[in-house]
Structure formats: structure tokens, C-alpha cells
Chains A and B, each alone.
Chain A
Amino acid sequence: MNYSDVFRDKELVQGLAKRIADLTRGRTEPLVFMEVCGTHTNAIYQFGLRSLLPPEVRLISGPGCPVCVTPNSYLDRAIALCRLPDVIIASFGDMLRVPGSSSSLMEERAKGADIRVVYSPLDAVQLAAKNPDKRVVFLGVGFETTAPTIAGSILAAKAQGLSNYFVLASHKTMPQPMAILSADPELQVDGYICPAHVSAIIGADAYRFLCEEYKVPCVVTGFEPTDVLQGVEMLVRQAIAGESKVEIQYSRVVRWEGNAKAQAMLADVFTPFDAPWRGIGVLPGSGLRIADKYADFDAELAIPVQVEELKEHKGCLCGEILKGKVSPFDCPLFGGKCTPESPVGACMVSSEGTCAAAYKYGR
């Protein structure tokens, strides 16, 4: 048995599911817990965990997929950049299919734009070193887990003296949207399944204010099936006892204070700003842009380009789905007009998107 199999043990999982059922039996109102990390969304669908939980416990998905919360305006700028003759766009694969106002990067690639899928931002730095007559723009999207690697790529490009490497940065940071959701009177969330690897960077202390201000339980939870169910059980116990505190289920990785080195790197290369979230709006201090001292690497400043007028897609419920207010199955476009091969909204694109996971696993 290898390390990950231990956390996928059928008996342990079923035992946890039974404990949760025993704890919640007879409740008239279901307990609603939200996960705010795309990897949790995917794991819950992939292992069919909802089918193991009693009707008294409902899991809903929040704004945890970095691709999904990236607004159209960002895509439109990336598309405008890729149309410049001397620009190579380097990106994680998921971004390619996300529809902008009138096109997508995948469509632009079919028309001849130079767009490369890379697995690490450092590959994009290498691409810049190999193509000195081109400008390489990396699409820097992601939460605090991805942002340090992109900070690292900027530092590497600087160390190598490269003047043709740029990042179009749209990083998001985690606790702020959870506060917005907690304050939303239309939304009942009885507890948060807090992200695993984001919390490894920012530390579990980051969620304390949520417990204090909004009286909502928070459990930092790992991604394996036993992790998720144990996290749910911890939330159930808090909810029943009327408690609201931060607990760490994922103690084999996450510390209260987080990763100081990664935090220092983020603080050096990036500056917090009021970031736009798809479907949610602009949230104060919820994103990271490139700090002024690294402005030469900021694609938005260094490569001026005419961006087309913003157009939102009619009927798409991505915004409501990202807030956990409706399920993908409630969206009139789901599975008809909006499918993974022809996505209308970003939630249908990324492997971590709620709609894509529901389409792939849920029906």
C-alpha cells in the first residue's frame, strides 16, 4: 500500500460516513458546508463522496477555481496580446478554452497565434531565453499556491537579465471572498471546508476573523476522501455544539502560521489590490498585482494594447454558481448550450470548475 492509498481506504471512508450520518440523523434542516478550493470540488465528485453522505449534510461549491473566477476582461486582454505578431503566450492549459467576450485563446491558436501550454512558469522563462526576438507573456492566474511559483519566475527572469519575459497577473487571495459570502443574507453556510494547499502557504490563522466576525466554523481539510469526510465530521461536530473555531484536519501539511518563505516572496514581488472576481465583483484587497519595483515584468503596463469592449454572456449563471447559490444543474445552459467542448461560462472549462466536474461526474 502506498502513501495515498491509506487515505483512500474504503472501510475508513465508510466508517466516517456512518459517523456523520449518526451525528446528523433526524435533523430537520440540513447542514450546508461550502468548499472554496477547486481541488476539493473535483475530489468530492471524483470519489462520489456526496453519494456517501446523509441527506442531512449538503456540500456546496464556492469560488475556488482560479480559472473560473478570472473575469472576461482578463481574457480579452490576453487575447489582444496574443494577436500581436511578436508575442508568445505561455499558459497553463485550462485557460485556453475559457471564453472571453468574443473569442478564446484556443480559437486564436487555431487562427495562428503562438500560444504554448506549459506546466511551470519557469518553462515560460526558458521560452523567453530561447526566443530573444519575441515577447513571452505568461498568464499568471491562481491562488496563493500558484502565485509563489510565478513570483519565482519573475525573480528568475530578473536574475537572467531577460527583458522579454512578462506576466499578465490576475492572482486571487483567499479569505476575503469567504467574508463576502458569510455576510450574504441569501446564503446559508454552516461551515467552510477551507483549502488545503492555499492554507499551507497562508496558514490556518488567516481564517480566525471569519469565525470571530461571522460565527462560522472553519476546518482546513486535505484532498483525499478520508480527509474530506473527516473535515466534514469536524464541521458537523462544531455546528451541533454551536461552536465556531478554526481547526486543522490537514495537520500533516498545514501550520497555523503558514509558509514564511513563500509569504515573503509574495510580499516582495506582488502588491495586494482590489481584484475583480467573475460573478462576484471587485473585492477589496482580494488579489495580487505585480509590485512597482517589478513593473518592467508587468504585461499590462509594459505592453500597451487595445482591448475589445467587454461583453458578458447572457443567461450564464457562473456568478451565482461561484457563490454557491445555485447548483450547475439549475442553470438553463448546463449540458445544452454550455458543455465542456463549447463552454459559455468559465465554470465549465477548468477541470476544477464546478460545472465541468458536475458534467463529467455528476449526472
Chain B
Amino acid sequence: MNNDLILLGHGSGGRLSHQLLDDLIIPQLSSVPVKGQNDAALLNIGGVKLAFSTDSYVVDPIFFPGGNIGDLAINGTVNDLAMMGARPLCLSVGFILEEGFSKEELSRILTSMRQAADAAGVAIVTGDTKVVPKGKGDRIFINTSGIGALEHNLQIDGASARVGDKIIVNGCIGDHGIAVLSAREGLEIDSGIKSDSAPLNGLVTGLLTLGPALHVLRDPTRGGVATTLKEIALQSGVTVTLNEESLPINPGVKGVCAILGLDPLYVANEGKLLALVAPERADEALEIMRRHPLGRDAAVIGEVTETSAGKVQMETLVGGMRGVEMLAGEQLPRIC
């Protein structure tokens, strides 16, 4: 096999993405040794602690049930900052537009961006626009970068999971991926599922009151809950045990996944977070989430059971036990 080319799977957020980062990008670009990968960089500039993150958005189709590329671009970067426990302050926006793209559609996207930024309480303070010839892009790509303020001394990152921690998710998993998939050309499925795209910083503000009992925050975007938990397990050197019965999943998502042979554990989310919380404060964390509009369906889905080299396993619906690995390649449809 020829390994010289970038494949679509390198952008899946799963194992191939990790390999590309570890083998090529980080060794060549990073000026400091990178220990694990978090959603944002933490900076200390003259005694002021900041979180800094960037993300590019290439979703297809650009409009989908529950949102569009614009609000996704705001919420995604806001959430990356929030997952470090930072308070998002301001964003930059870069557009790459394809010649011939409709101004009306651009305007709709901008309106959603404005609304999403207002809802998250962040300012869009700088930006850039480039246009490429027709056929050299796909209508619109957006990059956003963001800065957030770190106003606490807590250690919240992927390497901080401890044995006993409860794993809490703030609601149903897989909505975003299935909403986008259902809207994709050639797959006329009316699943009724809407993207969960939403800013999570408000929810995080509530969780920060847990203090040192809050160990890890992560948003399970590309690669889904399975890939994110595997990352945490590897970073922290622990075994995560999930309970399939307790996973909150919309019946529509279950249905589409069953038809297409997908596993909801690997389907992308854009308004979900996983919180790993010390067991004695887990009930309180659940309460905090359920009081928030974005956490009504919050549930404990598993716990950290032992120290290990980094393993995720799941007690299945029927009481069996199986391993859970990172997403490999792209999520592919079944063949028969």
C-alpha cells in the first residue's frame, strides 16, 4: 500500500487523524514537546492565563436540520475553549469562499454566526475573506480561532481522569452526525433528527463550581463518544467501563444507525460534553447539568474502573462485555 497520500480518513478524528498529527504535523511544527492533545492550548502571558484554540469547518451539506456551517463554526471553537474550563472571550473568523457562491446563502450563514456568538457571549473581533476560483473549493469553508480566560487553578484536561470517576454526558449522543448524514444528497432519510450544535460554555460555568472534583471535560465531536473516551483513557492511563443501557440515544438516531450499520458511539456530536467527576460529587454534577437547558437528558454512562495502559470497554445491553476502540478510517455503510 502507498502511504504517501492524505486520505479522507485522515480527517475523521479517529486513529488516522492521530497518526497524521503524531507522525508528521506535531514533530514538524511544535516548538515545545506536546504531552497528549487537548482541545485548546493553555498560555500564560505576563501572568494572565489564557486558552487558545482554532478549528476549521468544511461540513457538507452547509445547511442541515438544526443548524448550518456558520453556527457550527462559532459553537465548535467556543466549546473547545470551554472544555479547558476557560471562559470564551473573542473569536476570529476566516472565510474561504468559492467563486459563484450565493450571497444570499452567505448572508444566512452570517446571521446564524451573529446569533450563535451572541448566545455564547463571545465577540467576533477580527477576520479574513479569500475567494478561490470555481471548482477549487466547495462553496464555503470557515476557520474560527478563539481566546478564552482561565479564571481558576483547576487541572482540567484529558490526563486527569482517576479511578472511580463517573462519566457523565449532558444528553443524547449522535444527533449531529445523523442530522448531517440525513441531509446529504443521495440519502433521502427523514429521520426528524436535528443537529445538537450549541455553545457549552454556560453548562461548563455551572460545572466549574464542583472545583477539584471536576477532572476532565471533553466534547465528543468527530469520532464520537468512543473515540473521545479512548483518548482520555490513553492520556490518563486508565480503563473506562461504559454501560450500554445507560447511553442516552434518540430513537431516530438508533433507527438510522441500525439501517446504515453505524454505531452511535462513533457518530459526531456538536453540543455534547463528557465530564469525568469524582464519585462523591457525581450526583451534584448531574443535578447541575439537568438544571441547564442543554443538560436535561444528562446521564451517568460509565466510570473509570482501574489503571491500565488505556482501555475502554462496555457492558452491553444484554450483559456481555466487549472492547471499544477508536474510530478506524471513515464510518462506512454496511454492504448486506
Q: Which residues of A contact B (CB under 8 A)?
A: 2, 4, 8-10, 13-14, 38-39, 45-52, 66-67, 92-97, 99, 103-104, 106-107, 109-111, 117-119, 123, 141-143, 145-146, 197, 225, 339-342, 350-352, 356, 359-363
Chain B contacts for A9, CB-based, 8 A: 318
B250 to chain A, nearest CB (A): 12
Chain B contacts for A10, CB-based, 8 A: 245, 317-319
- The reply to whether the CB of B34 lies closer than 8 angstroms to some CB of chain A is no
- The reply to whether the CB of B192 lies closer than 8 angstroms to some CB of chain A is no
Given A93-B333, A143-B336, A352-B334, also A118-B186 (CB < 8 A): yes
Looking at the complex, which one of B314, B318, B332 makes contact with A49 (CB distance below 8 Å)?
Answer: B318
Chain B 189-216 near chain A by CB (<8 Å), digits 1 or 0: 0000000000000000000000000000
CA gap between A48 and B316 in the complex, in Å: 7
10 sample A-B contacts, Cβ–Cβ < 8 Å, listed by A number: A38-B336, A46-B322, A47-B317, A48-B318, A51-B320, A52-B320, A104-B1, A225-B317, A341-B329, A360-B328
Chain A contacts for B319, CB-based, 8 A: 10, 13-14, 48, 52
Chain B contacts for A8, CB-based, 8 A: 317-318
CA gap between A362 and B311 in the complex, in Å: 12
Chain A contacts for B260, CB-based, 8 A: 119
CA gap between A94 and B251 in the complex, in Å: 26
CA gap between A175 and B323 in the complex, in Å: 32
- The reply to whether the CB of B19 lies closer than 8 angstroms to some CB of chain A is yes
Q: Are B335 and A13 in contact (CB under 8 A)?
A: no
Looking at the complex, which one of A2, A106, A119 makes contact with B186 (CB distance below 8 Å)?
Answer: A119
Chain B contacts for A341, CB-based, 8 A: 9, 14-16, 19, 328-329
Q: Are A103 and B2 in contact (CB under 8 A)?
A: yes
A105 to chain B, nearest CB (A): 11
CA gap between A141 and B335 in the complex, in Å: 8
Looking at the complex, which one of B251, B263, B320 makes contact with A47 (CB distance below 8 Å)?
Answer: B320
Given A142-B335, A197-B336, also A362-B1 (CB < 8 A): no
Chain B 1-26 near chain A by CB (<8 Å), digits 1 or 0: 11101111100001110010000000
Nearest A-chain residue to B226, judged by Cβ: A360
Chain B contacts for A94, CB-based, 8 A: 332-335
Interface residues of B in 248-303 (CB under 8 A from A): 251, 258, 260-261, 263
CA gap between A107 and B9 in the complex, in Å: 11
Given A10-B318, A52-B318, also A359-B334 (CB < 8 A): no
Main secondary structure, interface of B, reads: loop
Q: Are A51 and B322 in contact (CB under 8 A)?
A: yes
Q: Are A146 and B329 in contact (CB under 8 A)?
A: no
Chain A contacts for B60, CB-based, 8 A: none
Q: Are A4 and B258 in contact (CB under 8 A)?
A: yes
- The reply to whether the CB of B58 lies closer than 8 angstroms to some CB of chain A is no
Nearest A-chain residue to B3, judged by Cβ: A342
Q: Are B333 and A361 in contact (CB under 8 A)?
A: no
Interface residues of B in 67-99 (CB under 8 A from A): none
Chain A contacts for B318, CB-based, 8 A: 8-10, 13-14, 47-49, 52, 225
Interface size range on B against A: 35 or more
Q: Which residues of B contact A (CB under 8 A)?
A: 1-3, 5-9, 14-16, 19, 186-187, 245, 251, 258, 260-261, 263, 314-325, 328-330, 332-336
Q: Are A117 and B333 in contact (CB under 8 A)?
A: yes
Q: Are A119 and B333 in contact (CB under 8 A)?
A: yes
For the complex of A and B, the 3 pairs showing the least CB-CB separation, nearest first, are A48-B320, A340-B328, A93-B332
Q: Are B323 and A119 in contact (CB under 8 A)?
A: no
A132 to chain B, nearest CB (A): 19
CA gap between A350 and B317 in the complex, in Å: 24
Q: Are B323 and A142 in contact (CB under 8 A)?
A: no
Q: Are B332 and A362 in contact (CB under 8 A)?
A: no
Chain A contacts for B314, CB-based, 8 A: 48
Q: Are A47 and B316 in contact (CB under 8 A)?
A: yes
CA gap between A350 and B334 in the complex, in Å: 8
Chain B contacts for A109, CB-based, 8 A: 8
Nearest B-chain residue to A142, judged by Cβ: B336
Chain A contacts for B321, CB-based, 8 A: 48, 51
A37 to chain B, nearest CB (A): 9
A243 to chain B, nearest CB (A): 28
Chain A contacts for B251, CB-based, 8 A: 2
Chain A contacts for B332, CB-based, 8 A: 93-94, 96-97, 117, 351
Looking at the complex, which one of B7, B245, B320, B328 makes contact with A339 (CB distance below 8 Å)?
Answer: B328
Given A110-B5, A111-B5, also A362-B323 (CB < 8 A): yes
Nearest B-chain residue to A362, judged by Cβ: B323
CA gap between A206 and B333 in the complex, in Å: 29
Interface centre among A46, A48, A350 (most CB of B within 10 A): A48
Q: Are A342 and B186 in contact (CB under 8 A)?
A: no
Nearest B-chain residue to A103, judged by Cβ: B2
CA gap between A119 and B2 in the complex, in Å: 27
Chain A contacts for B317, CB-based, 8 A: 8, 10, 47, 225
